[in-house]
Structure 1
Amino acid sequence: MSRTRRSKSQGLTEKEYFETFFKIPKQNASKGRTVYIRPEFHQKFLKLIAGLEIDRLTMYAYLDNIIEHHFTEFEETIYKIYQDRNKPLF
């Protein structure tokens, strides 16, 4: 399988996907919040990191990478939706 193949959804190559979502964040989750995820997603994640043998990739790191990418990718749209729903008082 080529590492330069593009994903169908966002146009990322496999290399770009790996570098975006499987990076280890510099900060840790010690002051983070509890987040509950579906058991089937947790199982998929565990299989994924076991199969890829990525040291130190935690659920926190993976979710943090996904959320960071989402906010970066959709920042303008999120901002517009927020502005449209929160009109100034005057």
Structure 2
Amino acid sequence: MIPNPIFFNDNTIMIGLIVCCLVVLAVVMIPKAMRHRKRVRESKCEETVQEEEQEVQMIVVPNEETVLEQSMIDYKKRFLVNANIPTRNGKQVGIRKKYHSRISKIVKVIGENEVTIFSYIDNVLKHHFETFQDDISELYKKNCDDDYLIPKK
């Protein structure tokens, strides 16, 4: 039996393959395009709602001197206060000479000789642990199974 050349020539097969590929591509891409279009419409609606809900807020920008003054006051209140803890208790810690000299000058000049080096270091460490508590706890948990560093409630 001889095949019909109209149905089975190279051009017909090529056109058939192209049509099949286009159908598959359309089946895959049309739903994606519809989802994208829906998301774009929803985001435009949300932006419109947010723009309507926005209030005009007045922002007071302090001058640099005020910010610097407040920053210095905050620093003194946080770090240059005496700790109500007895020093030493049999514990000694070494400090690099350059840091010891620097801390001594800070305590003498800014703390006006009313704060001890121990108090300054204790306050710096307290602030450090309060600021980085979550990071420290997370890193500790990765390396150890106990709950030593988890804050008690």
Conserved 8 A contact 1:21-1:65: yes
Unaligned runs of at least 5 residues, structure 1: 7-11
Other-structure match for 1:5: 68
- Structure 2 distance, partners of 1:33, 1:3, is 41
Larger helix share, 1 or 2: 2
Other-structure match for 1:67: 125
Which of these two proteins has the greater Rg computed from alpha carbons?
A: 2
- Structure 1 distance, partners of 2:72, 2:102, is 18
Name the count of aligned residue pairs.
Answer: 82
- Structure 1 distance, partners of 2:94, 2:85, is 20
Change (3 A) 1:16 1:32: farther
- Structure 1 distance, partners of 2:125, 2:131, is 10
Percent identity over paired residues? 23
Change (3 A) 1:3 1:33: farther
Which amino acid in structure 2 is aligned with residue 5 of structure 1? Answer: L
Change (3 A) 1:25 1:43: same
- Structure 2 distance, partners of 1:20, 1:49, is 13
Cα RMSD after superposing both structures: 2.4
Q: Are 1:80 and 2:138 counterparts?
A: yes
Shift of 1:61: 0.6
Normalised TM-score (structure 2):
0.47
Normalised TM-score (structure 1):
0.75
Conserved 8 A contact 2:107-2:117: no
Within 5 Å, which residues of 2 pair with 1:5-84? 5=68, 13-31=71-89, 33-52=91-110, 53-55=112-114, 57-84=115-142
- Structure 2 distance, partners of 1:2, 1:54, is 26
